[in-house]
Amino acid sequence: MSTLRDTKPVKLSGLIPATITPFSTDGAVDMEALRRHVRETADTDGVTGIVVNAFLGEILQLSDDDRVAIIAAAKAELRPGQLLIAGLEGRNAAQYVTDGNAAKAAGADALLVLPPFDVRPYRRLVRDTRVVHEFFSALDRGIGLPMIIFQYGERSGCAYPVDVLKAVAEIPNVVGVKCSCDTVTHYVAHWEGLKDSLSVLAAVDQPSLLGMLMHGAHGSLIGISVVGTKRWSDLVAEALDGDLVKAQAIHRDFCVPLMASLFENQEPTSSTSEVSRIKEALVQLGQIPNSNVREPAVGVTDAHRALIRRSLASVGLTSARG
Q: What is the pLDDT of residue 1?
A: 46
- CATH number, domain 4-243, options 3.20.20.70, 3.40.1180.10, 3.40.640.10, 3.40.50.1370: 3.20.20.70
Q: Compute the distance between CA of residue 319 and CA of residue 102 in angstroms, rounded to an integer.
A: 43
Q: Compute the distance between CA of residue 196 and CA of residue 43 in angstroms, rounded to an integer.
A: 30
Q: Which residue has the higher pLDDT, 103 or 269?
A: 103
Q: What is the pLDDT of residue 2?
A: 58
Q: Compute the distance between CA of residue 135 and CA of residue 117 in angstroms, rounded to an integer.
A: 10
pLDDT tens digits, 73-98: 999 999 999 999 999 999 999 999 99
Residues 167, 130 contacting (CB under 8 angstroms): no
Q: Which of 64, 74, 85 is nearest to 33 (CA)?
A: 74
pLDDT tens digits, 189-241: 999 999 999 999 999 999 999 999 999 999 999 999 999 999 999 999 999 99
Q: Compute the distance between CA of residue 116 and CA of residue 125 in angstroms, rounded to an integer.
A: 10
pLDDT tens digits, 131-178: 999 999 999 999 999 999 999 999 999 999 999 999 999 999 999 999
Read off the pLDDT of each residue in 59-76 and give the average, rounded to a whole number.
Answer: 99
Indicate the pairing of strand 49-52 with strand 14-17.
unpaired
Contacts of 286 (CB under 8 A, 6+ apart): none
Phi, psi angles (nearest 5°) of residue 177: -135, 130
pLDDT tens digits, 126-140: 999 999 999 999 999
Helices (H), the chain: 31-42, 64-75, 93-106, 129-142, 162-168, 184-194, 209-215, 229-240, 244-250, 256-263, 274-284, 302-314
Binned at pLDDT 50, 70 and 90, residue 3 comes out as confident
Burial (0-12, 13-18, 19+ Cβ within 10 Å), 284: buried
Q: Compute the distance between CA of residue 85 and CA of residue 124 in angstroms, rounded to an integer.
A: 28
Helix (H, G, I), strand (E, B) or coil at 174: strand
Q: What is the dihedral of CA 134, 135, 136, 138, to 10 degrees?
A: 80
* Signed CA dihedral, 39, 15, 100, 8: sign only: positive
Q: What is the pLDDT of residue 170?
A: 97
Binned at pLDDT 50, 70 and 90, residue 319 comes out as confident
Q: Compute the distance between CA of residue 220 and CA of residue 180 in angstroms, rounded to an integer.
A: 10
Q: How many residues does the chain have?
A: 322
Amino acid at position 108, single letter: A
Q: What is the pLDDT of residue 322?
A: 43
Determine which of 6-10, 99-103, 288-292 has the lowest per-residue pLDDT on average: 6-10
Asked if residue 60 has pLDDT above 80, the reply is: yes
Q: Which of 48, 58, 55 is nearest to 17 (CA)?
A: 48
pLDDT tens digits, 245-302: 999 999 999 999 999 999 999 999 999 999 999 999 999 999 999 999 999 999 999 9
Q: Compute the distance between CA of residue 219 and CA of residue 216 in angstroms, rounded to an integer.
A: 9
Helix (H, G, I), strand (E, B) or coil at 183: coil
CA angle in degrees (0–180, nearest 5) for 168-99-200 = 35
Q: Compute the distance between CA of residue 85 and CA of residue 52 in angstroms, rounded to an integer.
A: 6
Helix (H, G, I), strand (E, B) or coil at 306: helix
Domain boundaries, the chain: 4-243
pLDDT tens digits, 113-124: 999 999 999 999
Residues 170, 127 contacting (CB under 8 angstroms): no
DSSP state of 239: H
